[in-house]
Structure 1
């Protein structure tokens, strides 16, 4: 699917716009933890956009390390004691951090499954993730972990379903937010921000689901 230029460019635009939004919000935030979270989200979006075009494959291990570290960072926030109010607070905040940890881990797993160290030229319109996935089986001296992931289409199917379900949940939350009655102050301040967050989460989950679907 991703060897179609229009689709690849559209997904790239979504990821880069989402990443730019997170970087912009990081500069506006006054809280250090929120700044770190925003930057990590921006980095994840940029890495996923690069993944579509098979850019800098020589740094794939470093990219996986960054995403894995980001996943652990969100797990730490989710399980932190309630006294640390700058971290995830409340049940909703903890669930949010757990999902962000899952999305970071999902991006890392996607990189590992793809293993995009291809020797041939990149197809027009970006890589074909399905072809790149199967080409790993013929790569010289693959690592045990990469080989295991390469032969696990079932994992890709489960992750496709998981992120597709997440996209549906965020779309539902976005729709519910539109019909919920709020005060004028809420409508002028927090509501647009929450809508933007839910919209970006829905888009991000949908993109993750589409990318995993091509690897199943």
Structure 2
């Protein structure tokens, strides 16, 4: 488990929320009729799963693949946000384009966080007691090499980042969480057809999940501001 959250309850709570959100997006990806919707929902599901795995330092060997996929997802949502109006299967309309811009930032933020929390094995494995190098000699080398390590390191995990970037992303995702909460509260139930009620429930669920996801991202980046 990474040292962003020292309380296991918080880590387990965040893991549960991320996995549940991932399952929700995957379910809608399967039920979606359009190809674009399936891709978008699948990318959201994958991002949530990767974020949950990052909390526990799982699959470190696939680190570069995770960053590549999240970077590709970022570009995919950027392309949708600037697509011409004729491509109605992509982000069409001002609100939809803004949402695609937000999703591109979310994917980029996830890629950045995965890169920041990359496990470092060279520092812990390069210097070990051997027959040719006694433990006392290794201790001498480690003492002199310690200043070259990153300032935030625990159990072979190091964080090397700019606090100003973390602060900006904390503010951004915190504001996004508030916006989605406002949108959620504005969605009032009305008496209409069953189909319209189902669509309204879907929108409310989307706003709720977006608010939770943004809040989690804000809290995770907030731990990197010092």
* Aligned residues between the structures: 194
Q: How does 1:102-181 map to 2 (within 5 A)?
A: 102-117=105-120, 134-135=152-153, 150-178=160-188
Counterpart selection for 1:206 from 193, 196, 215? 215
Unaligned runs of 5+ in 2: 125-149
For the aligned residue pairs, the C-alpha RMSD in angstroms reads 2.2
Shift of 1:166: 0.4
Q: Deviations over 1:35-60 (max 9, x none)?
A: 00000000000000001111111211
Distance 1:116 1:29, change over 3 A: same
- After TM superposition, the score normalised by the length of structure 2 is 0.80
Q: Which runs of 4+ in 1 moved over 3 A?
A: 117-120
Q: How does 1:67-78 map to 2 (within 5 A)?
A: 67-78=70-81
For the pair shown, the structure with the greater C-alpha radius of gyration is 2
Q: Flag the structure with more relative contact order, 1 or 2, with Cα contacts below 8 A and sequence separation at least 6.
A: 1
Bigger Cα displacement from structure 2, 104-113 vs 198-207: 104-113
Shift of 1:154: 1.3
Bigger share in helix = 1
- After TM superposition, the score normalised by the length of structure 1 is 0.83
CA distance in 2, matches of 1:32, 1:4: 41
Partner SS, residue 135 of structure 1: strand
Within the alignment, does 1:90 sit opposite 2:62 as a pair? no
Shift of 1:115: 2.0
Within the alignment, does 1:191 sit opposite 2:191 as a pair? no
Q: Deviations over 1:163-190 (max 9, x none)?
A: 0110000001001113xx7451275221
Shift of 1:68: 0.4
